[in-house]
């Protein structure tokens, strides 16, 4: 299994600002994923981030709003840009584990935009 940490664990931000969320893994992994979980909703995949290539965004998510960096095999960042109250959510980082469909999740970053 992989141990994943995220920073910050929570934050309160003003609308129009940006927040960068960090995800650190204790082992080298090829595939990392970023999810959003809005209040009362399920986890929605934002993008898949592979080291050395551009992130692949899911329908409804764009790079200008959610730029992602993946500088090495143990680290990634997700930036939530020009935030609005609708961006208030839990943001989760995960990595692919052994076994198809297996993912290990970080503890999440709880974001509140005022």
Partner 1 sequence: AQRVTQPEKLLSVFKGAPVELKCNYSYSGSPELFWYVQYSRQRLQLLLRHISRESIKGFTADLNKGETSFHLKKPFAQEEDSAMYYCALRGTGGYSTLTFGKGTMLLVSP
Residues at the site binding partner 1, with contacts judged by CB under 8 A? 4, 31, 33, 40-45, 48, 56, 92, 94, 96-97, 99-108
Q: Which is nearer to partner 1, 4 or 113 (CB)?
A: 4
Closest separation between CB of residue 98 and partner 1, Å? 10
Which of residues 74 and 94 has its CB atom nearest to partner 1 in the complex? 94
What is the SS3 assignment for 69?
strand
**Rounded distance, CA 8 to CA 110, Å?**
8
Shortest distance in whole angstroms from residue 71 CB to partner 1:
20
Q: Is 102 helix (H, G, I), strand (E, B) or coil?
A: coil
Cβ-based neighbour number of residue 2 at 10 Å = 18
Nearest approach, Cβ of residue 69 and partner 1 (Å): 19
Considering the complex, state which of residue 89 and residue 94 has its C-beta at the smaller distance from partner 1: 94
What is the number of other CB atoms lying within 10 angstroms of the CB of residue 23? 26
The H-or-E segment that residue 63 falls in is none
Burial (CB count within 10 angstroms: exposed 0-12, middle 13-18, buried 19+), residue 65: middle
Closest separation in Å from C-beta 107 to partner 1? 5
In this complex, which beta carbon is closest to partner 1, that of residue 5 or of residue 18? 5
């Amino acid at each position: 299994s992989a141990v994943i940490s995220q920073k910050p664990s929570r934050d309160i931000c003003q609308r129009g600002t940006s927040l960068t969320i960090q995800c650190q893994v204790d082992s080298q992994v090829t595939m990392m994923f970023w999810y959003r979980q809005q209040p009362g909703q399920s986890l929605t995949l934002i993008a898949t981030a592979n080291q050395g290539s551009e992130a692949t965004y899911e329908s409804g998510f764009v790079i200008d709003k959610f730029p992602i960096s993946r500088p090495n095999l143990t680290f990634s960042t997700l930036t939530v840009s020009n935030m609005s109250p609708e961006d208030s959510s839990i943001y989760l980082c995960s990595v692919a584990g052994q076994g198809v469909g297996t993912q290990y999740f970080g503890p999440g970053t709880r974001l509140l935009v005022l």
